[in-house]
Structure 1
């Protein structure tokens, strides 16, 4: 019985070390989840149900909120402040953490609002908004190549 307990304890300790994150590694300025998986054409969107359109709309809002405030620093996920030569000290680390928390809180509130209110919108307006957001993301990709 003691052998099993010792073995289980060692296993759990090993697993916790293996899966723990390095807290001293700078986080990406733009979240790795800030990407549109697929761009759509008008006719394709017109064939979709409103629920599918709502999901696309919310996804695009999330991508834009996770990207646009940072385009002066980076336009793609994976770049850290250290990559830009910004000191990765406790003050800047705290600033990055606070911004990530604020963005997550804002997105929670915004997505909740969108899921409750946007179903009442006109389908054509929803499609137009999705296309606008996608065009904004395309323009951002062009911006990054300047």
Structure 2
């Protein structure tokens, strides 16, 4: 009885591991779902914040701009893959997408490293203006489809 149970368990785990290994990896999205703005602000609200919080908002908005805006010719929605756009899911296309995602990530990381060192020296009013400008730019993404009339 123990032998049958052991054999059954081994066969079950072997079958499960083979099935999991055969599943294709999840396709990478053009726009990551974690890249978004939690809240938009007005000038008065930003004036009540300290520079540290303003810097965090500024960086969050830069991330969205760096990772979303270059891809709006394809989509402005997260979760869209090259296959869902009708682009052949070839090895070259997957590599190009991965390279693009890595380049954006590396650029963002380098930019943020610079911003964290230098941006604290900026005037608070300039930082507020930049956050408001970025937010206005990002709000326009919601109206992007109005420009996409064929």
Structure 1 Cα separation of the partners of residues 80 and 66 of structure 2: 17
Gaps of 5+ in 2: 1-9
1:41-98 CA deviation, whole Å, 9 max, x = no partner?
A: 1100000000000000000000110101000001010111111100011000000111
Per the alignment, do residues 33 and 145 of structure 1 end up closer, same or farther by CA in structure 2, a change over 3 Å counting?
farther
Structure 1 Cα separation of the partners of residues 46 and 28 of structure 2: 35
CA RMSD of aligned residues (A): 2.1
TM-score by length of 1: 0.83
Q: Which has the larger radius of gyration?
A: 2
Structure 1 Cα separation of the partners of residues 81 and 96 of structure 2: 13
Structure 1 Cα separation of the partners of residues 41 and 78 of structure 2: 22
Structure 2 Cα separation of the partners of residues 131 and 71 of structure 1: 21
TM-score by length of 2: 0.81
Residue 5 of structure 1 corresponds to none
Residue 109 of structure 2 corresponds to 108
Gaps of 5+ in 1: 1-9
Corresponding residue pairs, total: 131
- The residue correspondences of 1:88-107 to structure 2 (distance < 5 A) are 88-107=89-108
- Does the 8 Å CA contact 1:34/1:64 hold for their aligned counterparts? no
Superposition deviation, residue 24 in structure 1: 3.5
